[in-house]
Amino acid sequence: MDRLKGLPAFGFVAAAVLVALRLVHLGVPLVFPDARQGPIAVASLDDVRRRVGFAPLVPGYRPESLGVQPAHISVALGPHPTFAIVWSANDHYLSVTQRRGGPKPDHPLMARPLTDVPNSTWWATGSRVHLILERDGFWIAIDTSLGARDLRRFADTLAPY
């Protein structure tokens, strides 16, 4: 037994510290609900699934004026896993944000459903149009400078990457 002298005390201390760590792990989101993990810039769409745990939805339809490569891709790990992608070129702009769970993104009172697009809410501010979609537990927000007709095409061609 002398060969193991001090080991029970080690077990007790290690268990206490690990329990404290677990409490911190569980308690932080409760005490700091606004604690955001991100956004974190990622290099490519291939990294998105690995980081946020779901396949990113991107519109298959993309006018050439937006450019080929996205200007920015980012993910946020909390409080709700979120993926965001932005194309920006030639004064044209398209942003798609996909969030798992949480409340419906903010929208003005005058926003209304987009005809023939289920679970949608759209509105315009100046030259920009905005669309919120609910798909399989995800909130998808599309924001573009390209106009309402393109907005519908973006919504219709959303597909997992």
Residues near other proteins (CB under 8 A): 2-7, 9-11, 13-14, 16-18, 21-22, 24-25, 28-29, 32, 34-42, 50-53, 74, 77-78, 81
Give the whole-angstrom CA distance, residue 18 versus residue 148. Answer: 54
Q: Which residue has the tokens 């993910």?
A: 75
Q: What CA–CA distance (Å, rounded) separates 134 from 104? A: 8
Question: Closer to other proteins at the Cβ: 75 or 158?
Answer: 75
Other beta carbons less than 10 A from residue 131's beta carbon:
23
**Which residue lies nearer to other proteins by CB, 13 or 148?**
13
- Shortest distance in whole angstroms from residue 78 CB to other proteins: 6
Please, what is the minimum distance in Å from the beta carbon of residue 159 to other proteins? 22
As measured in angstroms, the least distance from the Cβ of 51 to other proteins is 5
- Nearer to other proteins among residue 36 and residue 104 (C-beta): 36
- Closer residue to other proteins, CB minimum distance, 6 or 137: 6
Q: How far is the CB of 137 from other proteins (least distance, A)?
A: 16
Find tokens 């990113």 and name the residue: 56
Based on CB atoms, which residue is closest to other proteins, 18 or 159?
Answer: 18
- Cα-Cα-Cα-Cα torsion 147, 98, 67, 90, nearest 10 degrees, comes to 50
- List the alpha helices (DSSP H) in the chain: 7-31, 46-52, 148-156
- Which three-class secondary structure state does DSSP give residue 141? strand
- Closest contact distance (angstroms) between CB of 115 and other proteins is 37
